[in-house]
Amino acid sequence: MSQIGQRASAFAPASSGNVSVGFDLLGAALLRIDGGELGDRVNVEFAEQDELKNSGEYAHVCPDDAEQNLAWQAYRLFRSKLANESFPKVKMELVKSLPVGSGLGSSACSVVASLTALNRLFGHYFSDNDMLLMMGEIEAAASGDLHYDNVAPSYFGGLQLMSPSTDEPVLDLPIPDQWYVVVAFPSFAFPTKQAREVLPKQYDKHDVIANAQNLSVFITQLFKGQQVKAA
């Protein structure tokens, strides 16, 4: 039985989408080498009234209007899919620790942390597959297209390959133990939706085939445990 004051929390790590030759197909979760947190955290609590609070280093970039906040949109979507409407209201705190438009999956972090925290608060009401579909729905609205290459690794961790199967939408790939990733991001924001608008609408068949070959070799080498040369 849910009680007023009952709490839950979730942390979602930063991620890199479009890893190497995996445009919209490969995404990797990012962890700091010193073990510190690199991502967003969301705290939720059953309360008398719905409420959203922004905190953290980048709280100032969060929209003043709660309805424009991805964490709140996640809550609205989560609530709309509940079959049981008798649950109490929810007070949320988004601890925003990632810059927006940095290429670190900032929006995915907010969405993943929010939905994960809510699912814990509501007794793991939804399955992993249900959760991923909701995450993708919110990300699609934010970025202008449906792709899981940030939300999937932020939720499941590791290196994830996007699959066309609705039963198994992502596949976990092995990562060489000797890999270390250096991440650099610009001092200006470049939102995903804006970046995607400058991409070509069509690609040459030769380029598509070459990329498919490179992606196939990349994944094969991962499973063989061999060094991978990025194309």
Residue 196 has pLDDT above 90, yes or no: no
Whole-angstrom Cα distance, residue 3 to residue 87? Answer: 9
pLDDT tens-digit series, residues 47-94: 999 999 999 999 998 988 999 999 999 999 999 999 877 789 999 999
- Of 2.40.33.20, 1.10.645.10, 3.40.50.1360, 3.30.230.10, the CATH number of 7-224 is 3.30.230.10
- Nearest CA to 172 among 162, 159, 184? 159
pLDDT tens-digit series, residues 28-52: 999 888 888 899 999 999 999 999 9
pLDDT tens-digit series, residues 117-159: 999 999 999 999 999 999 999 988 877 778 889 999 999 999 9
* More confident of the two residues 142 and 27: 27
- Nearest CA to 42 among 84, 74, 86? 74
pLDDT score, position 4? 86
Q: Where are the domains of the chain?
A: 7-224
* More confident of the two residues 152 and 193: 152
Whole-angstrom Cα distance, residue 78 to residue 135? Answer: 10
pLDDT score, position 229? 57
Phi, psi of 14 (to 5 degrees): -60, 165
Token pair belonging to 25: 């197909």
Mean pLDDT value of segment 166-195? 80
Whole-angstrom Cα distance, residue 70 to residue 110? Answer: 6
Residue pair 104/14 in contact (Cβ under 8 Å)? The answer is yes
Whole-angstrom Cα distance, residue 92 to residue 36? Answer: 23
* Burial 191-227, CB ≥16 within 10 A → b, else e: bbeeeeeeeeeeeeeeeeeebeebbeebbeebeeeee
Token pair belonging to 130: 């249900």
**pTM of model > 0.75:** yes
- Which position has the token pair 């297209």? 145
Whole-angstrom Cα distance, residue 46 to residue 37? Answer: 26
Cα→Cα distances 38→44, 107, 206, Å: 20, 13, 38
Residue pair 222/161 in contact (Cβ under 8 Å)? The answer is no
Quote the DSSP letter at residue 93: E
Q: Give 227's pLDDT tier (boundaries 50, 70, 90).
A: low
